[in-house]
Amino acid sequence: MRGIGWVVLYQDNLSGRIFNVWINEHDVSHLAGCNPILIMDVFEHAFMLDYGLKRADYIEAFFKNIDWSAADSRMEAIKK
Protein backbone atom coordinates (compact mmCIF):
# COMPACT_ATOMS: atom_id res chain seq x y z
CA MET A 1 0.00 0.00 0.00
CA ARG A 2 1.23 3.44 -0.93
CA GLY A 3 1.24 5.23 2.44
CA ILE A 4 -0.87 7.72 4.34
CA GLY A 5 -4.03 9.30 3.01
CA TRP A 6 -7.36 7.99 1.81
CA VAL A 7 -8.42 5.43 -0.74
CA VAL A 8 -11.69 6.34 -2.44
CA LEU A 9 -13.92 4.08 -4.49
CA TYR A 10 -15.52 6.45 -6.99
CA GLN A 11 -18.28 6.04 -9.53
CA ASP A 12 -18.08 8.10 -12.71
CA ASN A 13 -21.37 9.97 -13.19
CA LEU A 14 -21.33 9.60 -16.97
CA SER A 15 -20.18 6.03 -17.55
CA GLY A 16 -21.23 4.48 -14.25
CA ARG A 17 -17.82 2.79 -13.98
CA ILE A 18 -16.21 2.41 -10.57
CA PHE A 19 -12.51 2.79 -9.76
CA ASN A 20 -10.13 3.46 -6.86
CA VAL A 21 -8.16 6.67 -6.35
CA TRP A 22 -5.51 7.56 -3.76
CA ILE A 23 -6.00 10.97 -2.13
CA ASN A 24 -3.16 12.43 -0.12
CA GLU A 25 -4.90 15.51 1.28
CA HIS A 26 -8.57 15.77 2.24
CA ASP A 27 -9.07 19.13 0.56
CA VAL A 28 -7.53 18.38 -2.85
CA SER A 29 -7.47 15.65 -5.48
CA HIS A 30 -11.17 14.77 -5.51
CA LEU A 31 -12.33 13.99 -9.02
CA ALA A 32 -14.89 16.20 -10.71
CA GLY A 33 -17.84 14.33 -12.15
CA CYS A 34 -17.46 11.41 -9.76
CA ASN A 35 -19.20 10.45 -6.55
CA PRO A 36 -17.47 8.69 -3.67
CA ILE A 37 -18.99 5.29 -2.88
CA LEU A 38 -16.60 4.11 -0.15
CA ILE A 39 -13.67 5.81 1.60
CA MET A 40 -10.95 4.21 3.70
CA ASP A 41 -8.82 6.43 5.94
CA VAL A 42 -5.26 5.12 6.07
CA PHE A 43 -3.73 7.93 8.12
CA GLU A 44 -2.15 6.68 11.35
CA HIS A 45 -4.82 8.32 13.52
CA ALA A 46 -7.37 5.91 12.02
CA PHE A 47 -5.73 2.77 13.37
CA MET A 48 -2.82 3.40 15.78
CA LEU A 49 -4.83 3.26 19.03
CA ASP A 50 -6.49 -0.05 18.16
CA TYR A 51 -3.91 -1.71 15.91
CA GLY A 52 -0.55 -0.08 16.69
CA LEU A 53 1.74 -0.50 13.70
CA LYS A 54 -0.39 -3.33 12.25
CA ARG A 55 -1.96 -1.39 9.41
CA ALA A 56 -2.68 -4.60 7.49
CA ASP A 57 -4.85 -5.83 10.40
CA TYR A 58 -6.75 -2.53 10.34
CA ILE A 59 -7.35 -2.84 6.59
CA GLU A 60 -8.54 -6.43 7.00
CA ALA A 61 -10.97 -5.36 9.75
CA PHE A 62 -12.15 -2.44 7.61
CA PHE A 63 -13.09 -4.79 4.77
CA LYS A 64 -14.82 -7.22 7.13
CA ASN A 65 -17.02 -4.37 8.39
CA ILE A 66 -18.09 -2.77 5.11
CA ASP A 67 -21.83 -2.55 4.71
CA TRP A 68 -21.91 -3.43 1.01
CA SER A 69 -25.66 -2.77 0.80
CA ALA A 70 -25.01 0.84 1.88
CA ALA A 71 -22.25 1.19 -0.73
CA ASP A 72 -24.54 -0.35 -3.35
CA SER A 73 -27.33 2.07 -2.42
CA ARG A 74 -24.97 4.99 -3.10
CA MET A 75 -24.41 3.59 -6.57
CA GLU A 76 -28.12 3.09 -7.11
CA ALA A 77 -28.74 6.72 -6.16
CA ILE A 78 -26.33 7.80 -8.91
CA LYS A 79 -28.11 5.64 -11.52
CA LYS A 80 -31.46 7.35 -10.92
Give a yes or no: residue 33 inside a domain: yes
Q: Give the CATH number of the domain where residue 66 resides.
A: 3.55.40.20
pTM of the predicted structure, to 2 decimals? 0.81
Domain containing residue 54: 6-75
* Other Cβ atoms closer than 10 A to 8: 20
Q: How many domains is the chain built from? A: 1
Give a yes or no: residue 61 inside a domain: yes
Give a yes or no: residue 59 inside a domain: yes
The tens place of each residue's pLDDT in the chain, 80 residues long, gives 456 788 999 999 999 999 999 888 767 778 888 999 999 988 888 898 899 989 899 999 999 999 999 999 988 766 65
Non-local CB neighbours of 7 within 8 Å, separated by 6+ positions: 20, 21, 22, 23, 39, 40, 42
